[in-house]
Amino acid sequence: MSAPSSAAVTPIRITRIVAAPLFGESPKGGWSVEIKAEDSIHALIAVHTDAGIIGFGSAFTDGRLVEAALKVLEPLYIGENALEPERVSEKLHQNTFWMGRGGSLTHAISGIDIALWDILGKVTGLSIGRLAGGRYRDRVMPYCSLLMDEPAIMKDEIVRYREQGFRAFKIGWGPFGRRDDERLDEAIVAAAAGALPPGGKLMVDAGASDAYWPNGLKWAMRTADMLADHNVDWFEEAVKPDALEDFVTLRKQSRVPIAGGEVLTRRQSFIPFLVGGAFDIVQPDVTKVGGLSEQRRIAWMAEDFGVRYVGHGWNTALGIAADLQLAAALPNVTLVEYIGGSAYVDNIMTRPFGLDADGLLAIPDTPGLGVALDQDKIARYSPAAAQLFAAG
């Protein structure tokens, strides 16, 4: 019997890439210099092709920086084959190293990479999860990410989102660790833990990547003991993000799993943290780290080191969509992050995410990211919304 004939897939060329900065309802981050609603901290990206197929992605940085990065990268991506996300993204990384790895260029490449995977899925008719290795699961638990507040307010916030169906929560930033008041810190955690649904999970994020974080290793060790007494599932960003040795020491002594890595970019930055044993849980952000291509590599590398992967998802609906696809394609993913009450998560798609009766999110198995953006909704947050969708 003769082998079936096959034809090469015709390349689809990138004609332009555009960005739409989001602002107007930017969520508070609990930062010491707080995010204002009119600040731009996220941008949507659209990759246009000569076949008329558009892929969408998201970048975690000021939209003006994304727009500038696209101009810098333009000579490298115009005319490239949009069906080769890993090769094209690596080309962009390799040819801009001299401008500085990480930062806005890498964040912009993250959005491009997500969009290229979206295109590849749309052309092949496959979800990104299937393209990235298959589907280990078809739904996953989201954890609702909330800012810390005074104990009574914190309890009410947990109850509010518990009633919407969430069963896992992460609380962070805000006053925690910033008032030199151990009793307040514990009261906040106790209030949140007491409001969980039966069998619910609670994680705590100190937010030590904030400007001028005041605490060190000894504070983190004492706080980890307190969190263990409240059955907290992990302690995130407990020390400054570059304090590798402190992370290693804390992880060895803490009864609570230690999580981190959200500010690191590109897979190379994660190697010393994984080799050194700094994390129980590693948290790259797909809209910062280099996109799905880098996120997948980091997750598999963590798997080989016995470190759990949970993507950092404090970004947009497209970031969650990308995390959902990787949650399908990786063997041991049990959680995805979901910002509570963010307009850029809940109000930019034609069909918003919804929890099922078990408090889980379905993972789309339709082409690409499996979600659709709503131009009219995005226009509320960006005057550049139309150019995301405009042909030509």
CATH number 3.40.228.10 given to 130-362: no
Query: What pLDDT sits at residue 126?
Result: 98
Query: What pLDDT sits at residue 134?
Result: 95
* 179, 173 Cβ separation under 8 angstroms: no
Closest CA to 206 of 169, 242, 182, 172: 172
The hierarchical CATH code for the domain 14-127+374-389 is: 3.30.390.10
In degrees, rounded to 5, the angle at the alpha carbon of residue 167 between the alpha carbons of residues 206 and 251 is: 35
Query: What pLDDT sits at residue 196?
Result: 97
Residues in the chain, overall count: 392
How many Å separate Cα 246 from the centre of its chain? 24
Neighbours of 97 (CB within 10 A): 10
Query: What pLDDT sits at residue 98?
Result: 87
Query: What pLDDT sits at residue 392?
Result: 64
In degrees, rounded to 5, the angle at the alpha carbon of residue 299 between the alpha carbons of residues 330 and 29 is: 110
Residue 19's SS3 state is strand
Rg value, the chain, Cα: 21
- Delimiting residues of CATH 3.20.20.120 domain(s) in the chain: 130-362
pLDDT in tens, 225-256: 999 999 999 999 999 999 999 999 999 999 99
182-194 vs 151-162: helix crossing angle, rounded to 10: 20
**How many helices and strands in the chain, by DSSP H and E?**
14, 12
* 181, 213 Cβ separation under 8 angstroms: no
d(CA 31, CA 25): 16
Neighbours of 384 (CB within 10 A): 19
Query: What pLDDT sits at residue 1?
Result: 47
Stretches in the chain below the pLDDT threshold 50:
1-5
pLDDT in tens, 131-159: 999 999 999 999 999 999 999 999 999 99
Instruction: Name residue 307's amino acid.
Output: V
Query: What pLDDT sits at residue 7?
Result: 55
CA distances from 162 to 150, 345, 369, 391 (A): 18, 18, 27, 42
- Delimiting residues of CATH 3.30.390.10 domain(s) in the chain: 14-127+374-389
d(CA 148, CA 30): 8
